Structure 1
Amino acid sequence: MVAVLKVLVLLGSGITAGVLFCVALSVVPTFLRLPPHRYIEVHRLIGRNYDPTMPITVLSGTVIDIALAVAEHRGTPRVLFGIAAGLLLGVSAVSHLANVPINRTVKSLPDGAVPDGWPDPRRRWRNWNLLRTGCAVAALGTNAAAVVLAG
C-alpha cells in the first residue's frame, strides 16, 4: 500500500507542478499581452476546467504526503514527506486566498468594454501564481527525494 501511495504522491505533485509551470510559462505571458477585454474573455475560458480538478489533485497530494510521513519509519524521508505536504498546502492556500478571489472578480465583470479605472489584476495574479508554482515544483522535488531515500 505504501508503494501505491508513493506513486500517487509523485503523480499528484507532478501534475500540480506541471500544470502551474505551464500556466506560468505560457498562459500568464499571453494574459499580459492581451487587451483587457480579451484578457477577461480568455481568462473565463481557460479557468473553466481547472475547478474542481486542481483543488482535488493538490489536496489529495497533501493528504497522501501526510499519510506517508506518518507511515515512514526513517527520519529523513519522514521529514521530507512532511515538508512536501506543507508545500502543497501552500499551493492550496495561495490559490484559495489570492488567485481564486482574483479569478472571481475577473469572471464577474460584464462582457464588453472594461470600465474606466479598472484595477488590472494581471500582475498581482502572475505574482501569486509564481509563488504557488515555486511551492509546487519544490513539493515535487521534495517528494521525489523522499521516495528515493525511503527506498
Structure 2
Amino acid sequence: MVGAVLSVGVLVGSGVVAGVLFAVALSVLPALFAMPAERYVYAHRLIGRRWDPTMPVLVLTTAAADVALAVHGGSGAALFAAAAGLLAAVSVVSHFCNVPINRVVKSLDPERIPAGWHDPRPLWRRWHLLRTVLALLAVTVNAVAVVV
C-alpha cells in the first residue's frame, strides 16, 4: 500500500516539476526575452516570488520518495534510484546555477539598470533548459519504474 501511494506521489511530483519547468521554457522565457531590461527585471521579480520554497520542496520531496521506493526494492528499484538522481540534479542546477542569477536580478532596481549591465537571460535559459530536460527524464523514468 505504501509503495502504491509513493508511486503515485513520484508520478505527480515529478510530473508537476517537469510541467512547470517546461511551461517556463515554452512561454515565460520567450516573454522575458522580448522585454527591455527594466521590464525584464520587474517581471522577473514578480514571477519569482512564489517559486521559493515551493519548487525546492517539491523537487526534494519527490526525490526522497523515489529513494524510499528504490530502497523498498522491487523490479523498478534501479529506475526509482535513477529518477531520484535526476531530480537531485535538477535541484543542484537550480541551487547553484539559476538561483544565484535570480538573486542578482532581484537585487536590481528596474528603474536604475546599471550602465554596461550584463544581461543574464541567455545564461539563465541554458541552465533552465538543462534542468527542464533532467526533469522530463525524471518523470519518464518514474513512469517506466511504476509500470515495471
Q: Considering the TM-score relative to the shorter chain, is it more than 0.5?
A: yes
State the AA in 2 paired with 1:141.
T
Asked if 1:62 corresponds to 2:99, the answer is no
Match of 2:147 in 1: 148
> Which whole-Å CA distance do the structure 2 matches of 1:24 and 1:89 have between them?
20
* Partner secondary structure for residue 43 of structure 1: helix
Asked if 1:137 corresponds to 2:136, the answer is yes
What TM-score do the two structures reach when normalised by structure 2? 0.97
Paired-residue identity, %:
56
> Which whole-Å CA distance do the structure 2 matches of 1:135 and 1:111 have between them?
32
| Unmatched segments (≥5 aa) in structure 2 | none
What TM-score do the two structures reach when normalised by structure 1? 0.96
How big is the shift at 1:97?
A: 0.2
How big is the shift at 1:117?
A: 0.7
| Unmatched segments (≥5 aa) in structure 1 | none
Match of 2:36 in 1: 35
> Which whole-Å CA distance do the structure 2 matches of 1:86 and 1:33 have between them?
34
Match of 1:24 in 2: 25
Asked if 1:113 corresponds to 2:97, the answer is no
State the AA in 1 paired with 2:105.
V
> Which whole-Å CA distance do the structure 1 matches of 2:74 and 2:136 have between them?
25
How big is the shift at 1:148?
A: 0.3
Asked if 1:128 corresponds to 2:136, the answer is no
How big is the shift at 1:78?
A: 1.0
How big is the shift at 1:113?
A: 3.3
How big is the shift at 1:40?
A: 0.1
* Partner secondary structure for residue 133 of structure 1: helix
> Which whole-Å CA distance do the structure 1 matches of 2:74 and 2:21 have between them?
32
Aligned length: 147
> Which whole-Å CA distance do the structure 2 matches of 1:140 and 1:111 have between them?
37
> Which whole-Å CA distance do the structure 2 matches of 1:111 and 1:137 have between them?
33
Q: Is the 2:39–2:110 Cα contact (8 Å) retained in structure 1?
A: no
* Partner secondary structure for residue 50 of structure 1: helix
> Which whole-Å CA distance do the structure 2 matches of 1:111 and 1:105 have between them?
12
Q: CA RMSD in A?
A: 0.7
> Which whole-Å CA distance do the structure 2 matches of 1:54 and 1:129 have between them?
13
> Which whole-Å CA distance do the structure 2 matches of 1:54 and 1:36 have between them?
26
State the AA in 2 paired with 1:35.
P
How big is the shift at 1:114?
A: 1.3
* Partner secondary structure for residue 48 of structure 1: helix
* Cα-to-partner distance string for 1:70-113 (whole Å, 9 max, x where unaligned): 11222xx1111011000000000000000000000000012303
